[in-house]
Amino acid sequence: MGKPTGFFEFERELPADRDPLSRIGDWKEIHHHHSDEKLRTQGARCMDCGVPFCHTGKLIGGMASGCPVNNLVPEWNDLVYRGLWREALERLHKTNNFPEFTGRVCPAPCEGSCVLGINKPPVTIKNIEVSIIDKGWENGWVVPRPPSKRTGKKVAVIGSGPAGMSAAAQLNYAGHNVTVFERADRPGGLLMYGIPNMKLDKEEVVLRRIKLLEDEGVTFRCGVSVGVDVTVEGLRKDFDAIVLCTGATKPRDLGVAGRDAKGVHFAMEFLTANTKSLLDGSATSDFIDAKGKDVVIIGGGDTGTDCVGTSLRHGCSTVTQVEIMPKAPLERAKDNPWPEWPKTYKVDYGQEEAAAKFGHDPRVYLTTATKIEADSQGHVKAVHTVEVEWKRNDRGQFIPENVPGSEKTLPAQLVLLAMGFVGPEQPLLDALGVERDARTNVKADHEKYTTSLPGVFAAGDCRRGQSLVVWAFNEGRGVARECDRFLMGKTELP
C-alpha cells in the first residue's frame, strides 16, 4: 500500500468526457484521458483492504458484487501509484484477457463493492484499469505470445463474442488448435455489433485484439453459420471438443396491437446495421436511419441508452426512452446495502447527450406501451402509452398495473425495442440435441460447463442467460479450464 492516507487526502476524480454537443457529430469514443500523475493520485485512494471486496465476484441479490474475473485490483492500484505500469499490466493480464474491453464497457461492479464506497466515493477502478492496458498497447508491451508447444487437440468454439473470445484465448494458451466459428462477417459478437463505436472503437480496440489472437494461433472463420454452412456432425467428427458460446440473442418482443407496423425494429437490428455501415464505409441495405424522425425507444437499460446515442448521431428530431421501472433513488435504499450493486440514479452518455441537445433527460419512468399506431401506408406514426404502478398480486409478486387516465400518445416514425433477451436461438441447439433448462438456455452447471453431450461445453449468455460482458469473460475462462481438463486429463489454466 503505497499511500496509507491516500483515501483521506484525495477526492475521487474522473477525466472529463468530450462535450456532448460536439461528440454527437462523430462516432469516436467519448472519453478523455487522465495524466499519469492524476492516475497515480487516484490509485493512491485504494485502501489495500484486509478483505478486498472489489475482486470477490459474487452474486448478491441477483446482481454482481465485485469483479467477476477476480481482478487483483489493490495490487495494480498500488503499482500504478508507484509508477510501475508494466508490472501493473502483468497483474491485470493474470485475470483478464481483455481489459481494454471491460475498462470501457463493464458497469464496474468492483466499484460498487469498494470498501471506501461505504461512506465515500469509491476508487476509480475502471478508469485505472483501462489506462493500464491502453498504456500497454501504446508502449508495445502487448505482444503475441503463442504457446511454446501444441497438444495436437482441436477445439471448435461456436460464437466469437466475449465468452467465445476468452475461451479461445485460454484454450490456445494451453496449446490446443482453436477454430472460432462466427456467423457474422466480422468476429467479436456483441463487442463488434452490439455495442456502438462511441463506447468501444472497433478498428482501434476490438479488431486490434482479434489480430493479436490470430497472431497467437487462433483461427477465426467468419460468415459461417454452424448447422447451415457447416454440419454439426462434421464438427463433432473433425474436432475433439466443441464449446458453445452463441450468446442469448433472441430478443424480447412487444406484444401489443400494431407491433407489425413498418418502422418498428429490435434494437440490435438498428445497432448492428449502423456499426456495419460505419465499418463498410457506406450504408448497407438493412441500414435503419433515425435522421429527422421522432424516435421512441422501449426499454431503459444499456441497449436503450445505446439506441439514444446512435439516434442522436443520425440527427433524430426527438428521442424518448420509455422505462417501465421507477426512477432510481439518488442514494442507496435501505434494502440495497453495500456491497450489493448500488441501484442508484445514473445519467449515462446517451441521456447526457439528449439533455444537452433537447434540454431534458429522454427517459420517462413507470410507463409502458399499450399500442403502436400506423398511418395509411402501414408505417408507424405514434406510440400509445400509459403510466403504471407496481403492486403485489395474490401470489405476492410485484406486477405493473395501469393507472387510469394517464394515457398519452407519443409521435414516432421509428420505434426501437430494447427490452432485453429471452435466451439463445434454438436451431443450432436443436441440431446438436443438447439438453436445455426451463429458460431454454443450454443446461450446464456453473464452474462445470459440461452439457448433456460428452465433449460439448457451454458458457456465457447461452448458458446463464443475458448478463454482463464481464460474466461472459469469467465463463469463457472457466469453460476453457474444464475443456482443457477433458482433453488432457488435467489442467494448468487459471
Does 100 reside within a domain?
A: yes
Nearest Cα neighbor of 193 from 241, 148, 227, 160 is: 160
Whole-angstrom distance, CA of residue 217 vs CA of residue 179:
9
Question: Which domain range does residue 446 map to?
Answer: 154-249+422-488
Residues 213, 327, single domain; the answer is no
Q: How many CB atoms lie within 10 A of CB 119?
A: 7
Tell me what pLDDT residue 50 has.
87
DSSP 8-class letter at 329: P
Rounded Cα gap, residues 106 and 469, in angstroms: 7
Query: What are the pLDDT digits (tens) for 70-106?
Result: 999 999 999 999 999 999 999 999 999 999 999 999 9
Residues 22, 105, single domain; the answer is: yes
Task: Determine the residue type at 274.
Answer: N
- The residue among 57, 428, 431, 490 whose CA lies nearest residue 245 is 428
If asked whether residues 183 and 235 sit together in one domain, one would say yes
SS3 of 90, please? Answer: helix
- What is the rounded distance in angstroms from the CA atom of residue 1 to the CA atom of residue 10? 15
User: Are residues 214 and 336 part of one domain?
Assistant: no
- CA–CA separation, 15 vs 239, rounded Å? 47
Query: Does residue 224 sit in the same domain as residue 304?
Result: no
Q: Rounded CA gap, 78 and 1, in Å? A: 6
Kindly state whether residues 259 and 392 are assigned to the same domain: yes
Name the DSSP class of 203. I
One domain, residues 134 and 268: no
- Cell 450489493 -> residue: 340
Give pTM, 2 decimals: 0.95
Q: Is residue 79 part of a domain?
A: yes
- Domain boundary (358, 387, 419) is at 419
Final residue belonging to a domain, choices 392, 419, 446: 419
Give, as one character, the DSSP assignment of residue 335.
T
Whole-number Å distance between alpha carbons of 415 and 271? 13
pLDDT of res. 284? 86
33-42 pLDDT tens trace: 999 999 999 9
Residue from 309, 284, 287, 308 nearest 297 by CA? 308
Q: Angle formed by the axes of helices 73-81 and 36-44, to 10°?
A: 130
Nearest to 108 by CA among 469, 475, 365: 469
Same domain flag for 124 and 48: yes
Contact by Cβ (8 Å): 248, 421: yes
Q: How many domains does the chain have?
A: 3
Whole-number Cα distances in Å, 334 to 109, 299, 324, 329, 338: 19, 26, 22, 11, 10
Specify whether 354 is located in the same domain as 455: no
CATH number of the domain at 380, please.
3.50.50.60
Q: Are residues 160 and 48 in the same domain?
A: no
Q: What is the pLDDT of residue 163?
A: 98
Residue ranges in the chain whose pLDDT is less than 50: none
Cα–Cα distance, 469 to 247 (Å, whole number):
11
DSSP 32-84: ----HHHHHHHHHT----SS-GGG--EEETTEEES-TT---HHHHHHHHHTT-
350, 320 in Cβ contact below 8 A?
no
Q: Is residue 227 part of a domain?
A: yes
Q: What pLDDT does residue 3 have? A: 87
Closest to 273 in 3D by CA, of 262, 261, 260, 285: 285
Give the tens place of pLDDT for each residue, 327-374: 999 999 999 999 999 999 999 999 999 999 999 999 999 999 999 999
Cell digits of residue 369: 406501451
Has residue 149 been placed in a domain?
no
- Specify if 143 maps to a domain: no
C-alpha cell of residue 136: 500497454
Task: Produce one character per residue of 313-344: b if its CB has 16 or more CB atoms within 10 Å, e if not.
Answer: bbebebbbbbbbeeeeeeebeeebebbbbbbe
494 assigned to some structural domain = no
pLDDT of the residue at 1 = 67
Taking residue 146's Cβ as centre, other Cβ atoms within 10 Å add up to: 13
Q: Tell me which H or E stretch contains 154.
A: strand 154-158
How high is the pLDDT of residue 61?
A: 87
Last residue of a domain, one of 373, 392, 419: 419
Q: Give the CA distances from residue 465 to residues 141, 216, 245, 460, 469, in Å, rounded to whole numbers and listed in that order.
A: 35, 30, 11, 8, 12
CA geometry: angle at 87 spanning 84 and 88, to 5°? 80
Summary mean pLDDT of the chain: 96
pLDDT at residue number 403: 97
* Pair 238, 373 in one domain: no
Does a structural domain hold residue 195?
A: yes
**One domain, residues 395 and 354:** yes
Distance CA 378, CA 261 (A): 6
Count the residues in the chain. Answer: 494
CATH of the domain at 80: 1.10.1060.10
In order of 8, 54, 338, the CA distances from 119 in angstroms are: 12, 15, 10
Beta bridge partners of 319: 295
